[in-house]
Amino acid sequence: MQSNKRESQVLAEAGKPNTILPLAHMLAVSGGGDAGAFAAGLIAGWTAHGTRPLFKVVTGISAGALVAPFAFLGSEYDGVIRYVSNAIGPKDIFHSRNVLTRFASDGIADSKPLSRLIAKYVSAEILTAIASEYSKGRILLIGTTDLDSGRPVTWNMGAIASSQASGALDLFRNIMLASMSIPGAVSPVMIDVEVDGKQFQEMHVDGGVITQVFLYPPTTIMELSKSTGAPLRRDRNFYIIRNGTLDPQWSGTKRRTLNIGGRAISTLIQTQGISDLERIYRMAQQDGADFNLAFIGADFDVTHERKFDGEYMKRLFDYSFQLSAKGYPWHSSLPSQKN
């Protein structure tokens, strides 16, 4: 409601007062590790096609958190999206710890390389640009997981950018880092908080621990309409980019503890991701929004032996870029909903 008020004020100042706000385009970018190159290529190709809209809302989680701020700011940042998604390798993301210290530490690797990458591209100027768009009623959200409380946390990145607090830039960067910090694989991000005058630290990790993709709580629009006594009259387009496939992928699993555990977790994440899409699809139906879904198709059959393989990411970026530059065939429903 607050963002809509800001948007209405900007429109009124521009001589366009209207009780019905214009069509709102909303973009959600999922997690997916190195498959985040899919979203990057699709967004850049969307620009090339000439049909990419200005988004009212952009959300990102895990790998999507690295793309979301630049997708939010617009096509002039496509070069950054291209670089951070297909011109990096494992050494640009994490630094493996010594075998003897891994299990005594808070992660197998530390994410200092990723922290430096974020710091390079998320500058004070970027924060100023995001704050400017926030003042116009646009919304940028990034999700993390508060591991101690076991709860998802949605961060209003525009509000942080606009706060003018001395630690705003560091907090903004740390939230992005936390959203991509896979628990156990890399160190968590400790975020300072104050409660009742006392100082604490919260342990934040990958937002994908709880959800793979999100837009807004499913009941928000209905509840707001009831509380205000009038419907929130606004047409919406949902664009959901899933950095992964929809169908389970076969993978031979070795009879080893780590291999079995890892395969079980990846299967859980796959299933959770589909459930997230179904939730957003139902939300679109409930709120009268136009649902548009993109995902990695079965025709992309490139395999990779290690995470953040540069060649794999480049080919995935090129795959989605070519599809999008020609006009991506967005799916208006989930395949399971078509019959």
Residue 232 predicted with pLDDT over 80: no
The count of C-alpha atoms lying within 13 angstroms of the C-alpha of 259, restricted to the half-sphere facing its C-beta, is: 6
Which residue from 137, 145, 132 is spatially nearest to 175, judged by alpha carbons? Answer: 145
* Mean pLDDT on 30-59: 95
Q: Is the pLDDT of residue 20 over 50?
A: yes
Q: Say yes or no to pLDDT of 3 above 80.
A: yes
Rounded-to-5 percentages of helix, strand, coil across the chain: 45, 20, 35
Give pLDDT, residue 8. Answer: 87
The better pLDDT of the pair 228, 325 is held by 325
257 DSSP 8-state letter:
H
Residue 230 has pLDDT above 50, yes or no: no
CA distance 58 to 214: 10
> Pick from 288, 292, 293: which is nearest to 234 by CA?
288
- Please provide the average confidence, as pLDDT, over all residues in the chain: 85
Please compute the mean of the pLDDT values over residues 283-300 and round it to a whole number: 92
pLDDT value of residue 104: 47
Least confident of 104-118, 129-143, 187-201, 294-308: 104-118
Banded model confidence at residue 241, pLDDT cuts 50, 70, 90: very high
Give tens-digit pLDDT for 176-214.
999 988 776 778 899 999 889 999 999 999 888 888 999
Q: Which residues does 101 contact at the CB level (< 8 Å), separation at least 6?
A: none
Among the residue ranges 87-101, 215-229, 234-248, 322-336, the one predicted with the least confidence is 87-101
Question: Among 282, 157, 161, 270, which residue's Cα sits nearest to residue 217?
Answer: 282
| Lookup: tokens for 278 | 């179904």
pLDDT band at 102 (very low <50, low <70, confident <90, very high): very low
For residues 147 and 307, which has the higher predicted lDDT (pLDDT)? 147
- Which is more confident, 92 or 297? 297
**Beta carbons within 10 angstroms of residue 121's beta carbon:** 17
Q: How far is CA 13 from CA 8, 128, 134, 319, in A?
A: 9, 21, 16, 43
- N residues, the chain: 339
Using the 8-state DSSP alphabet, how is residue 289 labeled? P
Q: Do the Cβ atoms of 90 and 312 come closer than 8 Å?
A: no
- The answer to whether residue 265 scores a pLDDT higher than 80 is no
Provide the pLDDT confidence category of residue 77 given band limits of 50, 70 and 90.
very high
Say whether pLDDT at 336 is over 90: no
For the segment 86-111, the average pLDDT, to the nearest whole number, is 58
Amino acid 88: pLDDT: 64
- Candidates 11, 13, 1, 7; CA nearest to 55 is 7
CA-atom Rg of the chain in angstroms: 20
List the structure tokens of 67.
């793309």
- What integer pLDDT is reported at residue 75 of this predicted model? 95
Identify whether the C-beta of residue 114 lies closer than 8 Å to the C-beta of residue 139.
no
Q: State the helix-helix crossing angle for 257-287 and 220-228, rounded to 10 degrees.
A: 30
pLDDT exceeds cutoff 80 at 91: no
- Whole-model pTM? 0.88
d(CA 25, CA 58): 9
pLDDT higher than 70, residue 250? no
In 3D, which of 309, 296, 302 has the Cα closest to residue 270? 296
Give 335's pLDDT tier (boundaries 50, 70, 90): confident
What's the burial of 176, exposed, middle or buried (CB within 10 Å: 0-12/13-18/19+)?
buried
Q: Calculate what percentage of the chain has a pLDDT beyond 70.
A: 80
Distance from C-alpha of 306 to C-alpha of 313, rounded to nearest angstrom = 11
- What is the DSSP secondary structure assignment for residue 246, as one 8-state letter? S
